[in-house]
DNA sequence: CGATTCTTTGATCGCTGTCAAACTCGGTGG
DNA sequence: CCACCGAGTTTGACAGCGATCAAAGAATCG
């Protein structure tokens, strides 16, 4: 019942694609999550069949999670990382007075649970926004494999570091940008993530509620609603409930200002 | 000249203290940085003398950095992590219009440069707030050692994960808390970090300017100044330029609200 | 001791949170 | 099929926090 934290979404990749033609079901993962899956990890030369087997054994398919159901809960002991295969989730911390704060939204390919590495406990909860499929990466098995596969170790560091960088950008945005720019950044980032998943980046089907978006961006629900309306009347978007069409990407980018890589 | 990002401060530890009585100068580091140095890393059983040598060789002492001088610059190619030995630094990103955003302040024992792991370039700059001593950890050497010392690898993950968790808390604060609570959090966290460095946690000698604090907290410089004045007239602090005495820690904690571990 | 930088204090304005109410959509049951 | 209901969303009115503009005061450095 205490606030900790957790990974935000970030576009980092661990491409688990052996250059050899091995029959790993990691291939299957890659298909599902699209090109930029977290598990998208370029295995280097010299990976034994045995290593591949072990690596394979670390990935466990889980039963689908229904909307509103919890993958792991803040405070639970850490045991595994998770990768979204299909659907979407949100991670959040709960304050002492029951108030909750959303840390990030997770689309296929995104990794979750990184924050648990520090102190043996998940610092946040993860909940499905819709019916979702998830992979589990048992951490001790992952450790085992990465001991024999240096590249995996390095890639793990890269992914976490990437999450850190993403989170820092988010901090900066929360501290400096005003409401409409925050929403613009949010929409643009969702579009970019859609693109990496080979979805149409101009037609977003946002799986989260207005309240979730507002909470994530540190705004009031009403402000977000008003901004959607405004951006629609500005001809920037076509909004219909969860569906958001980006009509003028140029104006959206302009609204985000010079900062290209946020 | 593009905004990226970088590690915030965080209290994580890599205790580089061999249980054997080897004559590593890592001992010296530990002395300087106090108990909670980043390099404070419990080496497990079975570390060969050779490993220790290699580990030792990764740590390189650098020339002291004068106030205002830069340790590494945003965009430079990544080659090493850095640990503060004495003094203090700030890390920051520069926007396209020359605006800069401070990501964190770094005290002895804190690690810097983690963000560079993701994409071969430092995503932020690091600059000394005062004359500072710094250790350099060449990354390729670190990789080499951690390949033979699994615990080091794990500890590295833990440290980065801890930085991520800290950054997420910072995001939440920036999004939700109002000005005076942000400053209260900031002061309390500085006090806690001082305590871990075995300094008096009631008498802070803040190395950064009001402007830096304001920038870091996403506030206007004037607001921070006003709040210091207010907290002083409330009998909470005794403020004199860079020197801040915490007179009523209880009120400070109260002002931070129920959230204990932010 | 002058010049520069940092800090404090004051006055004003606008963004955005808050309170309040109407509206839409989807589902449920009569 | 329709009425009802509740969650989610939209819209309006209003006020307050904190940014911005402005200027004076304090400290540091050459």
Sheet arrangement for strand B89-94? B70-72, B125-128, B89-94, B100-106
Judge whether A114 is closer than 8 Å to chain B, CB to CB.
Answer: yes
User: Do A238 and B75 meet the contact criterion of CB atoms below 8 Å apart?
Assistant: no
User: What pLDDT does residue A37 have?
Assistant: 41
- In chain A, positions 149-208, which contact chain B (CB-CB < 8 Å)? 150, 153-154, 156-158, 160-165, 167-172, 174-176
CB contact under 8 Å between B118 and A161, yes or no, is yes
| Strand C proximal to B218 Cβ, under 7 A | no
Most A CBs within 10 Å, among B145, B164, B176, B221, to test the A interface: B164
Backbone angles phi, psi at A195, to 5 degrees: -60, -45
User: What pLDDT does residue B31 have?
Assistant: 60
**Residue spans per domain, chain B:** 26-166, 177-256
Give chain A's residues under pLDDT 70.
1-55, 258-262
Most B CBs within 10 Å, among A158, A168, A220, A260, to test the B interface: A168
Q: How far is the CA of B229 from the C1' of C9 (A)?
A: 10
Q: How far is the CA of B68 from the C1' of D30 (A)?
A: 18
Most A CBs within 10 Å, among B161, B163, B217, to test the A interface: B161
How large a percentage of chain B has pLDDT more than 90?
56
Give, as one character, the DSSP assignment of residue A198.
Answer: T
Q: How far is B76 from chain A (nearest CA, A)?
A: 16
User: What pLDDT does residue B80 have?
Assistant: 94
Which residue in this structure is represented by tokens 């609204």? A255
A147 contacts in chain B (CB < 8 Å): 150, 153
pLDDT digits 0-9 by tens, A66-113: 999 999 999 999 999 998 989 999 999 998 777 899 999 999 988 999
Which residue in this structure is represented by tokens 């951490």? A139
Number of A to B CB contacts under 8 A, please give it: 157
User: Do B139 and B81 meet the contact criterion of CB atoms below 8 Å apart?
Assistant: yes
Of B162, B9, B119, B148, give the one whose Cα is nearest residue A155: B119
| Strand D proximal to A179 Cβ, under 7 A | no
| Strand boundaries in A124-202, DSSP class E | 125-128, 133-138
User: What pLDDT does residue B3 have?
Assistant: 38
User: What pLDDT does residue A254 have?
Assistant: 92
How would residue B109 be classed by pLDDT, with cut points 50, 70 and 90? Answer: confident
- What is B177-256's CATH number, 1.10.3720.10, 4.10.520.10, 1.10.10.10, 1.20.1560.10? 1.10.10.10
Q: How far is A45 from chain B (nearest CA, A)?
A: 17
Q: How far is B125 from chain A (nearest CA, A)?
A: 13
- Using CB atoms, pick whichever of B5, B95, B161 lies closest to residue A168: B5
Cβ neighbours for B148, distance < 8 A, ≥ 6 positions apart: B51, B54
User: What pLDDT does residue B36 have?
Assistant: 41
Residues 208-237 of B, Cβ under 7 A from nucleic strand D: 218-220, 222-223
Domain range A26-163, CATH architecture: Sandwich (2.60)
Q: Which residues pair with B185 in a beta bridge?
A: none
CA dihedral B80, A10, A175, B96 (to 10 degrees): 70
More confident residue, B47 or B164: B164
User: What pLDDT does residue A44 have?
Assistant: 41
Cα separation, A145 vs A143, in Å, equals 5
How far apart, in Å, are the Cα atoms of A216 and each of A104, A173, B152, B175, B176? 7, 12, 34, 8, 10
- Using CB atoms, pick whichever of A4, A115, A165 lies closest to residue B123: A165
Of B135, B138, B120, give the one whose Cα is nearest residue B76: B120
Q: How far is the CA of B174 from the C1' of C6 (A)?
A: 25
DSSP 3-state assignment of A54? helix
pLDDT digits 0-9 by tens, B213-249: 999 999 999 999 999 999 999 999 999 989 999 999 9
- Using CB atoms, pick whichever of B116, B174, B257 lies closest to residue A171: B174
User: Do B149 and B18 meet the contact criterion of CB atoms below 8 Å apart?
Assistant: no
Cα separation, B122 vs A156, in Å, equals 18
| Strand C proximal to A180 Cβ, under 7 A | yes
List the single residue in A with minimal CA-CA distance to B97.
A258
- What is B26-166's CATH number, 2.30.30.30, 1.10.510.10, 2.60.120.10, 3.40.50.920? 2.60.120.10
More confident residue, B143 or A25: B143
User: What pLDDT does residue A78 have?
Assistant: 97
Structure tokens at B116: 């560079």
What element of type H or E holds B104? strand B100-106
How large a percentage of chain B has pLDDT more than 70?
77
A95 contacts in chain B (CB < 8 Å): 258-259
What element of type H or E holds A239? strand A237-240
List the single residue in A with minimal CA-CA distance to B91.
A168
Structure tokens at B244: 């801040």
Stretch B142-157: mean pLDDT, rounded?
A: 81
DSSP 3-state assignment of A62? coil
CB contact under 8 Å between B103 and A147, yes or no, is no
Cβ neighbours for B174, distance < 8 A, ≥ 6 positions apart: A171, A174, A175, A218, B182, B217, B218
Q: Which nucleotide is nearest to A177 (CA to C1')?
A: C15
Q: Which nucleotides of C are covered by protein (CB under 7 A)?
A: 6-11, 15-20, 25-26
User: What pLDDT does residue A213 have?
Assistant: 98
| Residue B22 clears pLDDT 60, i.e. is over it | no
| Strand C proximal to B234 Cβ, under 7 A | no
Cα separation, B144 vs A150, in Å, equals 9
- Average pLDDT value for chain B: 82
| Strand D proximal to A228 Cβ, under 7 A | yes
């Amino acid at each position: 019942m205490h606030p900790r934290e957790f990974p935000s979404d970030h576009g980092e990749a661990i491409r688990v694609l052996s250059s050899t033609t091995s029959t790993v079901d990691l291939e299957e993962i890659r298909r599902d999550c699209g090109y930029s899956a977290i598990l998208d990890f370029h295995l280097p030369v010299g990976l034994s069949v045995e290593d591949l087997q072990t690596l394979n054994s670390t990935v466990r398919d889980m039963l689908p999670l229904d909307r509103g159901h919890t993958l792991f809960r803040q405070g639970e002991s850490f045991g595994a990382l998770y990768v979204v295969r299909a659907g979407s989730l949100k991670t959040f911390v709960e304050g002492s007075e029951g108030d909750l704060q959303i840390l990030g939204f997770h689309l296929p390919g995104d990794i979750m649970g990184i924050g648990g590495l520090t102190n043996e406990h998940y610092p946040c909860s993860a909940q499905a926004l819709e019916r979702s499929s998830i992979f589990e990466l048992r951490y001790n098995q992952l450790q085992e494999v990465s001991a024999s596969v240096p590249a995996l170790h390095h890639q793990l560091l890269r992914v976490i570091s990437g999450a850190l960088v993403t989170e820092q950008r988010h901090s900066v945005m929360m501290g400096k940008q005003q409401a409409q720019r925050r929403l613009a950044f949010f929409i643009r980032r969702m579009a970019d993530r859609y693109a990496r998943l080979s979805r149409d980046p101009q037609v977003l089907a946002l799986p989260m509620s207005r309240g979730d978006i507002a909470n994530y961006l540190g705004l009031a629900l009403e402000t977000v609603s008003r901004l959607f309306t405004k951006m629609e009347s500005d001809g920037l978007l076509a909004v219909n409930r969860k569906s958001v069409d980006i009509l003028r990407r140029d104006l959206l980018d302009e609204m985000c200002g010079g900062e290209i890589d946020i």
